[in-house]
Amino acid sequence: MSSSSVRSFRIRNVRALSRLIAAGLLVSSVSYAAPAVTLNEWDIYNYPQQTEAVDQGIKAFSQQNPGIVINRSVHSFEDTRIPLKLALTAGDGPQIAQVNQGGGDMGSLVKDKLLVPLDSYASSDGWTTRFPDSILKRNRWSDSGDFGSGKLYGVASLGEMVGLYYNKALLDKAGIAVPKTLPELESAMAKLKEQGVPPMMLGLLDGNMGQQLLSTIWQAQIESSDRKKLDDLIYDVGGTFKDDKLVKAANMMKSWNEKGYLFPGFQGIGHDDAATLFQNGQSAFLISGTWYLGQFKDNKDIHFAAMPAGEGVQHALMVGGTDLAFSVTSTAKSKEQQDAAAKFIDYMVSDTMANRWLSVGFLPASTNKEAKMPADNALLAEAYQVWLTLNAHDGLGHYVDWATPTMNAELNQNVQLLLGGRQTADQMVNNFDNNYQRYLQTLKK
């Protein structure tokens, strides 16, 4: 072999070896690359606008975090209860799930060690400053099973509250200003009644509109800084429903009925039908929740305000809460999985996601004063301002049916009896308290 041939042979071998080394290095880099963290997620956002918002959120999150894969699965509300617990117990449930608050759901999962405490993430990611204590408290459970205290097991993305919807065109025609206090509301209803305008819409046939009216009048008399007694009731610390302000609220409702302030035939009207009647201008007021914002937004005469407060109350409580909390479950076994799951939840409760919720017409749980309001939804913008003010004073109250597993039925039945003239306010409040005290006794066994 000539010297030139030898040199050519060596060059070819060096090049081949270089290619092999390069290939080897490439294989090595692939084999040692960190694998993606895959997380299964369950949520109940099945309305089209909600699904769109969450899908967009997951897409944006995945672009920002290419090492985390989110496999989303949409479920019914009922799937977040027994089916979720069965799946987690079997060890094949989701790593991230929306969990219903309360003893029968989140409390039960915590007791069986099927949820991961999130306090370290709440601190490092700023959830404790992003949300008032009245919101986070709904997702706290102590090691001894006390609701509303102890470790944090979830955080919610959406908020809701029960306030005063009013038809400004009807009020203007009657020469009535938007009421700021309960006495002003009663005065406004008296004037409307005199002019032949049905003052207050109500539907008592089904659902919870009656009990929400009662609870809202009650909590409108409670200063947010004096909320402990109500918190103790709802979180089963103890106390009594025999409260003068609750009796006053019940008597006020009863008098509204006797004076003809409530929409005629309300006993036979369903809650959604009542909302539609209000939407069509059939009454001046409706006390209900922000879940009707989307339905009402195209009627420019309809507005939303804080519930008028009781006499002398500066910052009243308003009935409300959040949607189901996002939680990290026991199937996120590694620290890497738990960190990735918490990172996704942090995105779902971020200001970015809040703006996305607002853009599709939903009220976020966060309280960002710089949030972007959709230009075509003035009603939502009004509600969001009420939400900001409410939470600035830690004023988010409670759905009273949380107090016991059977309180929802107790409330609905007794409100019907009260407005049907078949019992007094005192009798009704005694019934509530008996229900509550019996439940407390079961907790001690």
As a whole number of angstroms, the distance between CA 279 and CA 281 comes to 6
DSSP letter string, 73-133:
EE--GGGGTHHHHHHHHHT-S-SEEEE--SIIIIIHHHHTT-B---HHHHHHTTHHHHS-H
The tokens 């996120």 sit on which residue?
332
Beta bridge partners of 430: none
How many residues are present in the chain? 445
Contacts of 431 (CB under 8 A, 6+ apart): 410, 414
As a whole number of angstroms, the distance between CA 178 and CA 19 comes to 80
Q: What is the pLDDT of residue 402?
A: 87
The tokens 């065109």 sit on which residue?
169
Judge contact between 110 and 326, C-beta under 8 A: no
The residue ranges of the chain whose pLDDT is under 70 are 1-34
CB-CB neighbours of 66 under 10 Å: 8
As a whole number of angstroms, the distance between CA 2 and CA 147 comes to 89
The tokens 């090595």 sit on which residue?
28
Tokens of 82: 């027994």
Q: What is the pLDDT of residue 16?
A: 46
Contacts of 50 (CB under 8 A, 6+ apart): 360, 362
Task: Give per-residue pLDDT as tens, 289-336.
Answer: 999 998 999 999 999 999 999 999 999 999 999 999 999 999 999 999
Judge contact between 97 and 79, C-beta under 8 A: no
Q: What is the pLDDT of residue 31?
A: 39
CB-CB neighbours of 13 under 10 Å: 10
Q: What is the pLDDT of residue 34?
A: 57
CA distances from 36 to 54, 95, 239 (A): 21, 15, 50
Contacts of 406 (CB under 8 A, 6+ apart): 435, 439
Phi, psi of 433 (to 5 degrees): -70, -40
CB-CB neighbours of 378 under 10 Å: 15
Task: Give per-residue pLDDT as tens, 60-102.
Answer: 999 999 999 999 999 988 888 899 999 999 999 999 999 988 7
Judge contact between 388 and 369, C-beta under 8 A: yes
